[in-house]
Chains A and B, each alone.
Chain A
Amino acid sequence: MKFALSWLKQHLETQADAATIARALTALGLEIEGVSDASAALGAFRVARVLTAERHPQADKLQVLSVDIGDGTPLQVVCGAPNARAGLIGVLGLPGAVVPANGMELRKSAIRGVESNGMMCSTRELGLGDEHDGIIELPADAPLGISFAHYLGSDPVFDVAITPNRPDCMGVYGIARDLAAAGIGTLRPIAVDHVPGSYPCPIDVRTDDPEGCPAFYGRVIRGVRNGPSPQWLADALKSAGQRPISALVDITNYVMLAYGRPAHAYDLAKLRGAVVARKAVAGETVHTLNGREYTLDATMTVIADDVMVHDVAGIMGGEHSGCSDATTDVLLEVAYFDRQAISRTGQALALTSDARSRFERGVDPGFLDTGLDLLTALICQICGGEPSHVVRAGEPPLADKLVAYDPALAARLGGIDVPQAEQRRILDALGFGVSGEGLWRVAVPGWRCDIDAAPDIVEEVIRVHGLDAVPSTPLPRAPGVAKPTATPAQTLERRLRRLAAARGSHEAVTWSFLPWLQANHFADLDNPVWHLANPISKDLEAMRPSLLPGLLMAVQRNLDRGATSIRLFEIGRRYLRGADGASAEAPSLAVVLAGERHPRGWAQGKAAPFDAFDAKAEALALLAEAGAPVDNLMVMGEAGAQFHPGQSATLRLGPKTVLARFGMVHPATLKAFDLAGPVAVVELFLDRLPAKKTAGSFARAAYAPPPLQAVTRDFAFLLPIDRPAGDLVRAVRGADKANIVAARVFDDFRGAGVPEGQRSLAIEITLQPVDKSYDEAALKAIAERVVAAAAKLGGTLRG
Chain B
Amino acid sequence: MEQLDQTLAAIAAADTPDAVEALRVAALGKQGWVSALLKTLGAMTPDQRQAEGPRIHAAREAVTAALAARKADLESAALDARLAAERVDLTLPAPETPRGSVHPVSQVMDELAEIFADLGFAVASGPEIEDDWHNFTALNMPETHPARAMHDTFYFPDRDAAGRAMLLRTHTSPVQIRTMLSQGAPLRIIAPGRVYRSDSDATHTPMFHQIEGLVIDKGIHLGHLKWTLETFLKAFFEREDIVLRLRPSYFPFTEPSVEVDVGFTLVGGKRVVGGDGDALGGGWMEVLGSGMVNRHVIAASGLDPDEWQGFAFGTGVDRLAMLKYGMDDLRAFFDGDARWLAHYGFAALDVPTLSGGVGVRS
Contact = CB atoms under 8 A, between A and B. Distances in A.
B191 to A, nearest CB: 12
A26 B106 contact: no
B164 to A, nearest CB: 8
A344 B341 CA distance: 45
B250 A497 contact: no
Given A473-B223, A581-B160, A502 B123 contact: no
Interface residues of A, number: 105
A109 to B, nearest CB: 33
B224 A473 contact: yes
B223 A558 contact: no
Contact of B345 (A28, A507, A567): A507
Contacts of A497: 102, 106
A455 B100 contact: no
A509 B334 contact: yes
A551 B347 CA distance: 21
Interface residues of B, number: 94
Contact of B207 (A340, A458, A512): A512
Given A508-B336, A513-B207, A568-B338, A455 B222 contact: no
The DSSP consensus for interface residues of chain A is: mixed
Contact of B249 (A163, A415, A575): A163
A540 B224 contact: no
B176 interface: no
A656 B187 CA distance: 39
Interface string B333-352: 11111110110010111010
B254 to A, nearest CB: 9
A505 interface: yes
A781 interface: no
A501 interface: yes
A535 B154 contact: yes
Contacts, number: 275
A534 B100 contact: no
Given A164-B146, A507-B101, A543-B129, A29 B248 contact: yes
B287 to A, nearest CB: 14
Given A499-B348, A511-B207, A551 B336 contact: yes
A561 B339 CA distance: 10
Between B161, B246, B294, the greatest number of chain A beta carbons within 10 A of the residue's beta carbon is seen for: B246
A581 B100 contact: no
B203 to A, nearest CB: 15
A164 B217 CA distance: 29
Given A415-B222, A477-B120, A508 B250 contact: no
The DSSP consensus for interface residues of chain B is: mixed
A575 B147 CA distance: 28
Interface string A327-371: 000000000000110011001000000000000110000000000
A412 B230 contact: no
A657 interface: no
A494 B110 contact: yes
Nearest to B293: A455
Contacts of A536: 154, 198-200, 206
A415 B113 contact: no
A537 B155 CA distance: 13
B250 A412 contact: no
Given A507-B106, A598-B96, A458 B144 contact: no
A415 B347 CA distance: 43
B215 interface: yes
Interface in B145-176: 146-147, 149-150, 154-162, 166, 168
Interface of B: 92-93, 95-103, 105-106, 110, 113, 116-123, 127-131, 144, 146-147, 149-150, 154-162, 166, 168, 194, 196, 198-200, 206-207, 215, 217, 219-228, 230-231, 245-250, 255-259, 292, 294-295, 309, 333-339, 341-342, 345, 347-349, 351
The 4 A-B residue pairs whose C-beta atoms are closest, nearest first, are A554-B336, A415-B223, A29-B248, A504-B98
